[in-house]
Amino acid sequence: MHDQLHEYVGVIHIHSTYSDGSRPIPEIAHIASEVGLDYLMFTDHNTLQPKRDGMEGWYHGVLIATGYEINDADDLNHYLAFNLDTELPQHLKPSEYVREVNNQGGFGIIAHPDEKRSAMKKYPPYPWTVWDSKDYHGIEIWNQMSEWMEGLTHFNKFYRVMHPRRSIIAPMEETLEKWDQANQNRKVVGIGGVDAHGHIYRLLGLFHITIFRYKVLFQTIRTHILTDTPFAGEGDHEKDLHNLYESLRNCRCFISNHYCGDARGFRFQAENKTQRVEIGSELKFDKYTHIHVNLPQSAVVHLVKDGKSISVQKGESLVFEIEEPGCYRVEAYYFERPWIFSNHIRIL
Ligand SMILES: [Zn+2]
Ligand SMILES: [Zn+2]
């Protein structure tokens, strides 16, 4: 390890029996502890009842955050809102709920922004349509369920049902493009989500109980956060939640597809003549500026500058020379499969 940071791995965007998920929160937390997750971020539709019921906190060594998923009057523009005490009035316009989440000290992420699934008329897509709103904190750049549904056809349905993890390939290009663009003006965190929607269970008829198990979903798209101070653990979950939200707000996180391998230990740092900074930071450009990438196992790494891949290297410990300022991030591929997506480092 090349730093003093603490890494925690979690899953964001989960529905429980408080809305259209199939299991209660404590049971889901137990499943998460069995697969070694450190935190879960719940987003039931239009309700913070789990928070009022005292569901936030530590369960079986897993930190539980309870936010909620907001939608507009047309059931579009889904927004994942955290760190709120009460729900906002229903059916505000998206620009209004994005602003209101901020006003109340919350933290908000645009969910499945470019969703397109079209295989089943009964299950329409729920994209984000109002990009003029500029106050959101983050974008869900990779959504397990959206991607699974998007590739679904009448013919591959059963293959996809039997192999949900193999159907996860990559974030959508147009989402990455919007995210890279937004980051050229301000920090916008990219996170990964799994999004277990209840309608999937009905769609799959006979198979519905066993296919989309939380245990399987928890081994797909994960978001790893890096913190300066460790979680306090049982007893002080408020402080730990604050730590979690601050890491996300500051883009000190990366996304992995766990199906390709455990990404714990991945690091993306930039260094100039006088300092070395972490993922999510800013650094002043000088002639000495370069980027370090460390991986838990050898992979092909693309260096992306302002949305374009400008350099590719393979290995476990890589150095990229930086020739000009820009908004940089990396993508790691394991046997040609997208594995890790970092957040940006801005070189000014
Ligand atoms: Zn949604
Ligand atoms: Zn959802």
Geometric angle at alpha carbon 340, from 334 and 344, rounded to 5°: 140
Ligand 1 center–CA 290 separation, angstroms: 39
Ligand 2 center–CA 317 separation, angstroms: 36
Distance CA 255, CA 203 (A): 28
Q: What is the pLDDT tens value at each position of the chain, 348 positions in all?
A: 456 899 999 999 999 999 988 899 999 999 999 999 999 999 999 999 999 999 999 999 999 999 999 999 999 999 999 999 999 998 899 999 999 999 999 999 999 998 886 666 666 788 899 888 889 999 999 988 777 777 666 667 666 666 666 667 789 999 999 999 999 999 999 999 988 764 454 555 555 444 568 888 899 999 999 999 999 998 889 999 999 999 999 999 999 999 999 999 999 999 999 999 999 999 999 999 999 999 999 999 999 999 999 999 999 999 999 999 999 999 999 998 999 999 999 999
Distance CA 110, CA 131 (A): 10
Report the DSSP pairing between strands 221-227 and 337-342.
unpaired
Tracing tokens 């730990």 back to the chain, one arrives at 240
Same fold yes or no, 6-260 and 267-347: no
Q: Which one of 1.10.530, 3.30.519, 3.40.1350, 2.60.40 gives the CATH number of domain 267-347?
A: 2.60.40
Q: Nearest ligand, CA of residue 126?
A: 1
Ligand 1 center–CA 15 separation, angstroms: 10
70 near 79, Cβ under 8 Å?
yes
Ligand 1 center–CA 40 separation, angstroms: 17
Distance CA 13, CA 15 (A): 7
Least Cα distance to 328 among 186, 180, 185 occurs for 180
User: Which residues, including other chains, have CB under 8 Å from residue 40's CB and lie 6 or more apart?
Assistant: 10, 11, 14, 28, 29, 32, 62, 63, 64, 65
Phi-psi label, residue 307: left if phi above 0, alpha if psi -120 to 50, beta otherwise: left
Ligand 2 center–CA 295 separation, angstroms: 31
**Domain range annotation of the chain:** 6-260, 267-347
User: Which residues, including other chains, have CB under 8 Å from residue 52's CB and lie 6 or more apart?
Assistant: none
CATH match of 6-260 with 3.20.20.140: yes
In the chain, alpha helices (H): 25-34, 49-52, 94-103, 144-150, 157-162, 173-183, 198-203, 214-217, 237-249
pTM beyond cutoff 0.85 = yes
